[in-house]
Amino acid sequence: MVTVSGSILPAAGFYTENRFECSGKAIHFYDTSLYAPISWNWEFTPNTVNFVEGTSATSQNPIVEFDGTGTYGVKLTVANVNGSAEASINDYIHLGGAAAPFLEDFENMQDKAYSWTIDNPDGEITWALNEQADGNHTMYMNFYDYKKLHARDYLISPPIDLSNLDLALLKLDYAYTDRLSLHDSLIISVSGDCGENWTRVYANADDGNGSFITAEQDMQSFVPQTEEDWCGSGYGADCINLDISAFAGLPNIRLRFESYNFYGNNMYLDNIEITNDITAIFEEQNNSGDIQLYPNPAQGFVDLSGQLPEGNVQISLVDVTGKTMLETSRTLTKGMKERLELDNIPTGIYLLRIESVNRGQATAALL
């Protein structure tokens, strides 16, 4: 038996599968209202929207294109024979992508309002979510069991909005080892137009001398057991740090992590971050204390002063990827300034490291 109430009001509700989307993309909204609504009215703040594919503001499940970037509020008013009710959410839609700083740790993926895309051209083994022994999650590529040599698979980020950044640094943690002389590759690309075109910013595979692996070679299926099996600690190579400031100030950014299979061993990615905080890249290396740099940013040179180590020192300039761009030996005297010529150094973000030869003491400053 069905009982129809003569007084109950509707309960308004809605959702969309794409709260974080690129500019110009249509978003499909779904009504979830209860208690027999018979009319619907959708409102957006700001109201710079267009209803498409034959839908309108009074459709139950409209399809909407947004004219701008940034956040939009959504309000749905529904009515049944007994009256009306409404549901509204401020800053519900994010056009241009998730705001930076951006961090993906692959935890609670089912609860996130955005999703990652996996492109698996051959329909075989591809990127997958993996739970570690400690309960934390990573993204994982099973190269160990992947029999198709030279296969490429793609892990693609949700849209990311870098409009509020004038400096953009990409960093991530990874764990990987090989077996015998079989070395798989990781390639990272960035798109400034939501994935229509891609710019490669990183490509690496081990050279046989430990340049990319983070743990000792393993003939069994590699699973990182401790922090020592990850980049930047213990045995392994440094973590990946990239300056992607060419894309700073832009919405609709996507990251693409491309795996190239050479039947080596398993690869794990975690803590993918885009930030404008330089210390996020150099936080473990920077112990600059009272070193002063002027001018900073440098203008073809930089003067060093303050509490510099005395005597014979090694001065090096390292970029965010860990590559040494300049290295020189000097003899420093207490209280004196030291000028470092940078005429042939390209524009970028660097760590200035000063190491005392006599005392083995290292200091560093950001440039």
Tokens 């997958």 correspond to what residue? 128
pLDDT tens, position by position, 187-196: 999 999 999 9
Name the strand (E) or helix (H) holding 83. strand 83-95
Is the model more confident about 210 or about 13? Answer: 13
Pairing type for strands 98-99 and 160-161 reads: parallel
- Inform me whether the pLDDT recorded for 216 exceeds 50: yes
pLDDT tens, position by position, 165-195: 999 999 999 999 999 888 999 999 999 999 9
Say what the pLDDT of residue 293 is. Answer: 81
The overall average pLDDT reported for the chain is 89
- Inform me whether the pLDDT recorded for 283 exceeds 70: no
Mean pLDDT along residues 121-150:
95
Name the strand (E) or helix (H) holding 281. helix 278-282
Give the pLDDT band of residue 367 (cuts 50, 70, 90).
low
Residue 244 to residue 238: CA distance in whole angstroms: 18
Q: Mean pLDDT lowest for which of 105-114, 127-136, 293-302?
A: 293-302
- Inform me whether the pLDDT recorded for 4 exceeds 70: no
Say what the pLDDT of residue 2 is. Answer: 46
pTM for the model: 0.79
What letters, b where the CB count within 10 A reaches 16 and e where it falls short, cover 248-266?
bebbbbbbbbbbbbbbbbb
Say what the pLDDT of residue 306 is. Answer: 78
pLDDT tens, position by position, 16-42: 998 999 999 999 999 999 999 999 999
Q: Are 280 and 171 in contact (CB under 8 A)?
A: yes
Say what the pLDDT of residue 48 is. Answer: 94
Closest CA to 48 of 69, 22, 75: 69
